Each structure stands twice: as structure tokens, then as C-alpha cells.
Amino acid sequence: MTDYQQFHRRSIDQRDEFWAEQAALVHWNKPAEQICDFSHPPFVKWFKGGETNLCYNAVDRHAAKRPNERALIYVSTETGEEKVYSFAELQREVERMAAIYQALGVRRGDRVLIYMPMIAEAAFAMLACARIGAIHSVVFGGFAAGSLATRIDDAKPALMVSADAGMRNGKPVPYKHLVDEACSLAQCPPQKVLIVDRGLDKGFTRVDGRDVDYAELRAKHLDARVPVTWVESSEPSYILYTSGTTGKPKGVQRDTGGYCVALAASMKHIYTGGEGETMFTTSDIGWVVGHSYIIYGPLIAGMATVMYEGTPLRPDPGIWWQIVEKYKVDVMFSAPTAVRVLKKQDPAWLRKYDLSSLKHLFLAGEPLDETSHRWIMDALGIPVIDNYWQTETGWPMLAICRGVEDSPIKLGSPAFPVFGYDLRIFREDGSECGANEKGIVGVVPPLPPGCLSTVWGQDERFVSTYFSVFKEPMVYSSSDWGIKDDRGYHSILGRMDDVINVAGHRLGTREIEEAVQMHPAIAEVAVVGVADEVKGQMPMAFAVAKDAAAVDTAEKRAALEKDVMKKVDAVLGAIARPGRVHFINGLPKTRSGKMLRRSIQALAEGRDAGDLTTIDDPGTLEQIRAALKS
């Protein structure tokens, strides 16, 4: 066995001893009474009885030891702002935000919904929640009012934190009107909304009695000292919503102690980042990568973390590498989509800057193709490591753990099961696949520390969604197809369900279908994910109009398509907009009424539609073919 195989095997066979060692990487106010409580499967409690605090581990302990070393590097190429916060300065800003929360009535266990652009105050907002034992729920700033309202009603926040606007490609993206609309749509709107006024939206208005200004309250709490609230390891740290197949987003609930330990262990063994180094993760706090590897992971490890507002191409395609040179970035984390975007640019941008500080680049969020993997590794001249994980797991499931053993990289493969994960490939009958046999990626529980503890407020949905694919044995299903080769390298082959991956963002096709059907002219619709050269997948809609006369000319079809896209933008946000809306007379279904989405997807990608013996009306497939040609 290799060094890493032994390391991984020990994490499974000697679970308690292994994770007790990893727990020593973080600070505990009170040590755990039990490492792993798996007495009520599939639910698990890690470090039971232990008391810790995420903010203390990410900020205070480093501020005490290295107060003047940099902690948060905020760069906005949208506004031209750039600011570096030391650990001591970050602690003060977090304490000020925590004092504001307390003044607004936020208490331990309360939820705070954060709907923010990528600005430093968003980091303060998240860490302040952890500091006082509140539970944050960050919603991606690109989501529309309807999506925001559903998350408000599920989380029932005591407070919302937002901004007047974000910025994208040099243009303000107003947030405040979306906040107001979401609060009017929600059944349980927050009592208070804290607004960071960036001066980008001069016309926004405040709601009397509800909206409060961050700058005004910060000025009142400049000298505030707010001690950390020690919480039991299993207490929730945050809720993060992810798309589901039912159309209703799931609130992934994360614990505190297990998550803290998992991130600390991943920083040491996977990302190999340590005190005094710098990490640049090109994601958004609205996604799990932003939670784990912009905010918490690097700071827990004592690293400086770069928080970037902007795109990879503005002001030019060299901006990321300019940041790497300027701040001597050691570890970088991005997504395959970004690589495919950069691959279309002049390669001279990669050679313009001194990248000698960069040890490695990690990529995750969607399958990485071999061509892009080879191109970026050759262009940078450093290891580029694919890793696979999910919102639900919170940290990698498959990766090369360079901190344990520098295993060879296989292009397009996220490699091996990460320590703690008893990950296997299963046939649909629950038996284990052999080498080079396609199957379902699953994890034999207990799930390791850091993974979701349940679905917020819905324990039964946690079980039915993740542990019901197989009757025996009990297995966490990733809902992804995968395969393992003779050497143990894994590859991810795509989703089993109706969730698609657009530039690393998971979108439920049911959610998009429901948004399309809100348009009064649409009778029925099917949305599928179609392979896209840059974004990995793009949603494509096939719709049936209520009145055939509404789509009987090319001009009418184009006008309705544009109108339907506006409706999706309004309901879900532009991120969920279909690449195309094709109008047909009927959708392909089985005789029992089941939609043949896989056949639709195959036709849209130019593949064979598969077994169609159960189709009710073969003519519907011909309509799809004709629509695609036109």
C-alpha cells in the first residue's frame, strides 16, 4: 500500500483515533466527550460534547499570535478598491459587526440571511454570525426576488444583511429593490435589514422602521468588544441552499466542530497551506467553495485569503495572475469553466507576471476535461489538481492529498477518495462495481466531519434525498455517475438526476421549468442540461405554447422566447436563464405520462435518443429535431 492508501485506510478503520488527531489542529474551549456518535444512522454527531467557535479559530487565535500579519485581502476591479486587513484589524471589524447584530436583537441560534456582493463587509457578516453563535444563510447575489423569498421563508431570519448594489463588468447591479420585493413576497420577512451603502445605487429608498445603515451603526460600535460564544460541536454554523429535484431548494445544515476540523485537516493534507501563506479562491460566498475556501478554511489555517470582486477578463485576461504576483499567492482554487474562458485568450497574459510563489492550482465545481487540464498545467508549469465534492459535503470527496503523498496526476481525474470518506462506486442494485465499470458514486456512512448534518428543518428529507437510492446497504448517494480505473483513479461522468451544472453552479431543472411555466403563454415545458464548451452545461427549454398561433412565425417565436427569458430572470435570476427556448407542439412522454428528458437531452447534444419503445407519440421527437435544426 502507498503512504496515502495507508493514511486513508486508517481514517476508515480507526476512525475515532484518526479524527481525534485531526481535532488537535483547532482550538477547543472544551474537549469532546465522544469523537463519533453514530447511534442514530444515518445521522452522525462529531466531537460530541466539545465546545469551540469558528470565528475564534479563524480570527482570534491568529490575531493573538500574529496580529499584524495580513488576513483578508480585498480586491475589486469593479470599483478599483483594494484593501488589506491584518488579523487584528479583521477581528475588530468582526466584533463591530457582531455588536451591531446584538444591538439589532440577534441572539445565539437566530438566523441571519446574507445577500451580498463580494465585498469585505460580507466576510465580516459571516464571521460575526459564527462569533455570537448565530446561524448564517448566504444567498448568492445573482438570485432574483422570488428565489430569495423562498429562502427567507425556509430560514426565517431575524436579520438580513445586504447592500445597495453589486458591480458586474463595470455596471452597478442593484440589490435593494430585490430585497424589498423578496420581503414583500415572503411570509416570514426579517424584522430588520442592515444595508451597506456603497454609493452605487443613488436612487434606493429605505423602509422606515426596518432598514438600518451599516456605516451609522458601525460608527456607534467602533470600540465594541464582543467575546466569542462557545457552542457545542453539533450546533449549526450555517444553512446553504442547494437546488433539488423537487423545485424547492434544500437547506444544507452544517455543524460547527466537525466543519472546523474537516477544513483544518483539508488545508493541511490537501491544499498544503499554512500560516503566513496566501490563498486565492476565485469563487463567490454564495456557493460552498466561498464558504469553505474563501472565508473559513484559509483563515483557520492562518493564511491570508483573497476576496475578489470582478471577472477573470476585466480589465484584461491577466488580472488573476497580476493578483498572484502582487500578493505572492501560494495556493489558488478556481473552476474548469474559468480555465476554458482563459484558454480562449492570448497565452501571453499567463507569461506576463511572476507566478513563482504559486505551488499549485486546484479546480472543482464541475467535471474537468483532459484538454483543459493539460492546457492550464502546461501554461502554468505547476501541478493542477482536480478535486470533486458537493455543497452537501462541504469539502473534497476525491482529490490528491499532496500533504500526505505527492501522487501522480491523471488528466481529467479527481483521483482518490479523500481521508474520512468510505467512497465506492455502486451498481443500482447496491452491489459494488468492479474497475472500469460505470456506477453511482456513494459513501458508506457515517459521513466524515464537515458534511451536512441534515436538511434544515427536514430530517426526513435528509434521509429520503440522500439515503434512499439503495435499500441495502445504507449508502449516501451523490446522485453522480462515476467510474474507477485499475489504479484507483476516479472520474465523474455526470448527474443521475435533474440537477445541471452551469459553470460550477448547480441548478434544478424543475426550478427553471416552474419559472418558465409562470409565463401566461406557456402550457408545458421540459428543461434539460446540454453540454456547453465553456460552461460545462447550459439549460435548454422545450416549450408548448397555449395558443399555437402565438408561435406560428419566426418573429413571434423570437419575441416569446425573449419574453420567457425575462420571466426566468425575474423569478430565478439571469444565472438560470436557458440558452434557448424551442417551441414545439408536444413533449415526448411514455404512455404512463413520464417525460423522456434523457431522450430530449440526447437529441439536443446530437446523440442517439436511446430506447424509445415506451414513447407515446414518436412525432414529438421529430419536432424536437426540427426545432434544433431551425
Quote the CA–CA distance of 451 and 458 in Å, as a whole number: 16
Quote the CA–CA distance of 419 and 29 in Å, as a whole number: 26
pLDDT at 612: 62
Quote the CA–CA distance of 557 and 548 in Å, as a whole number: 10
- Identify each DSSP E strand in 444-570 by its residue range: 454-455, 476-484, 490-495, 499-502, 505-508, 522-532, 536-545
Phi, psi of 474 (to 5 degrees): -70, 125
40's grid cell: 442514530
Quote the CA–CA distance of 356 and 325 in Å, as a whole number: 8
4-15: pLDDT as tens digits: 999 999 999 999
Quote the CA–CA distance of 283 and 363 in Å, as a whole number: 11
With a cut of 70, list the residues of the chain below it in pLDDT: 244-247, 497-498, 504, 590-594, 610-614, 616
pLDDT at 481: 87
pLDDT at 502: 78
Let me know: does 221 contact 98? Beta carbons within 8 Å.
Answer: no
263-312: pLDDT as tens digits: 999 999 999 999 999 999 999 999 999 999 999 999 999 999 999 999 99
pLDDT at 247: 60
Helix (H) or strand (E) holding 384: strand 384-386
579's grid cell: 440558452
Give which of 28, 48, 29 is closest to 37, Cα–Cα: 48
Question: What is the distance, to the nearest Å, from the Cα of residue 142 to the centroid of all Cα atoms in its chain?
Answer: 13
Quote the CA–CA distance of 420 and 446 in Å, as a whole number: 9
> Which class for 183: exposed (0-12), middle (13-18), buried (19 or more C-beta within 10 A)?
buried
612's grid cell: 424509445
Q: Which residue's C-alpha cell is 439589532?
A: 104
Phi, psi of 132 (to 5 degrees): -100, 10
Quote the CA–CA distance of 584 and 170 in Å, as a whole number: 39
189's grid cell: 420577512
According to DSSP, residue 511 is labeled: H
Q: Which amino acid is at 508?
A: G
Polymer length in residues for the chain: 630
Three-class SS state of 57: helix
Sign of CA dihedral 253, 307, 301, 399: positive
Sign of CA dihedral 262, 266, 267, 268: positive
According to DSSP, residue 202 is labeled: T
Can you list the alpha helix ranges (DSSP code H) found in 302-365?
Answer: 319-327, 336-342, 348-351
318's grid cell: 491577466
Give the global pTM.
0.85
Three-class SS state of 579: coil
pLDDT at 497: 65
94's grid cell: 468582526
Structural domains present in the chain = 88-229 (3.40.50.980), 520-629 (3.30.300.30)
Quote the CA–CA distance of 329 and 346 in Å, as a whole number: 22
User: Based on C-alpha coordinates, what's the Rg of the chain?
Assistant: 24
Cis peptide before 42 (omega within 30 of 0): yes
Let me know: does 358 contact 324? Beta carbons within 8 Å.
Answer: yes
Give which of 290, 365, 293 is closest to 138, Cα–Cα: 290
Q: How many CA atoms lie within 13 A of 218 on its CB side?
A: 14
Can you list the alpha helix ranges (DSSP code H) found in 24-72?
Answer: 54-55, 61-65
Contacts of residue 209, defined as CB under 8 A and 6 or more positions apart, other chains included, come to: none
518-568: pLDDT as tens digits: 899 998 888 988 888 888 888 999 998 888 899 889 899 999 999 999 999
pLDDT at 441: 96
How many angstroms separate the Cα of 112 from the Cα of each of 108, 130, 132, 157, 168? 11, 11, 11, 5, 25
Q: Which residue's C-alpha cell is 493578483?
A: 323
